[in-house]
């Protein structure tokens, strides 16, 4: 059963067509990876899913309901969460307070009810030991974990990840992948945009290649990455 569907979605910024009649779906509990060259429309696609942008045409369906007109906070409370490509913590607040803000305002729950969930989200993101530290003192990896913990505190059914592994070293990527694998094991559906393909392939079961706002190809990761069109457009490799 599809948890999220985008049906014929298009989005242009003036004369620039960024998303062009895009249709895709994400199953409940599925981990879907998204690849494509810079400027392919990947982040715009996530912003359309979460409601930060409104489509010019088409619909977004979540859990069987048309959410196309819903703002981001309503979609968050329905069970969708997004992590930013560049972490955006409240640097003068503690790590725990950052996550608490996500739970209270993202999920719409009282502070007392939210605290246990926030602690659990921090532990799941491997950041519990930094709960009382100021967010401004975190390393890049820790900031990425904080982004993840803040999203998890909203108890999402669908987690949208926008290049969360970008800028990390290989050992740091490995740690982050383990966290994301744990999240998926709990039944949370994932849509993950990432240029670090080996990280994607260790988590997702299906890969979608996006080019000029359209779905170029979708299928098992090994099939998509072996495609001559994908290698030519995404990797810049001409395959005979």
Which segments in the chain show pLDDT lower than 70?
237-240
Residues 145 and 161 in one domain: no
Structure tokens belonging to residue 191: 């849509």
Residues 131 and 204 in one domain: no
**Would you state the pLDDT for residue 236?**
75
Residues 29 and 102 in one domain: no
Contact yes or no for 125/149 (Cβ under 8 A): yes
Q: Residue 59 — left, alpha, or beta (φ > 0 → left; ψ -120 to 50 → alpha)?
A: beta
What total number of domains does the chain contain?
2
Domain harbouring 9, CATH code: 3.40.50.300
Residue where a domain terminates, one of 131, 155, 179: 155
Residue-wise burial string across 12-39, b where 16 or more C-beta atoms lie within 10 A, e elsewhere: eeeeebbbbebebebeebbbbbbbbeee
201: Cα separation from own chain's centroid: 15
Residue where a domain terminates, one of 108, 137, 155: 155
Range of 115's domain? 87-155
**Would you state the pLDDT for residue 68?**
98
């Amino acid at each position: 059963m599809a948890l999220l569907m985008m049906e014929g979605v298009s989005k242009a910024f003036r004369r620039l067509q960024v998303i062009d009649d895009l249709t895709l779906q994400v199953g409940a509990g599925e981990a879907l990876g998204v690849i494509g060259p810079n400027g392919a429309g990947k982040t715009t696609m996530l912003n359309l899913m979460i409601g930060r942008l409104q489509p010019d045409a088409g619909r977004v369906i979540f859990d069987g309901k048309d959410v196309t007109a819903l703002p981001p906070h309503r979609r968050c409370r329905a069970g969708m969460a997004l992590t930013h490509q560049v972490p955006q913590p409240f640097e003068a607040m503690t790590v725990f307070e950052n996550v608490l803000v996500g739970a209270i305002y993202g999920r719409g729950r009282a502070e007392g009810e939210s605290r246990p969930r926030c602690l659990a989200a921090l532990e799941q993101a491997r950041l519990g030991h930094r709960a009382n530290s100021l967010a401004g003192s975190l390393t890049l990896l820790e900031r990425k974990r904080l982004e993840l913990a803040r999203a998890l505190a909203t108890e999402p059914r669908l987690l949208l990840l926008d290049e969360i592994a970008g800028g990390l070293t290989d050992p740091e990527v490995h740690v982050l992948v383990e966290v994301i694998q744990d999240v998926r094991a709990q039944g949370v559906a994932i849509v993950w945009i990432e240029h670090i393909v080996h990280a994607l392939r260790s988590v997702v079961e299906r890969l979608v290649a996006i080019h000029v706002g359209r779905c170029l190809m979708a299928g098992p990761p090994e099939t998509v990455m072996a495609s001559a069109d994908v290698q030519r457009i995404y990797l810049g490799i001409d395959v005979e």
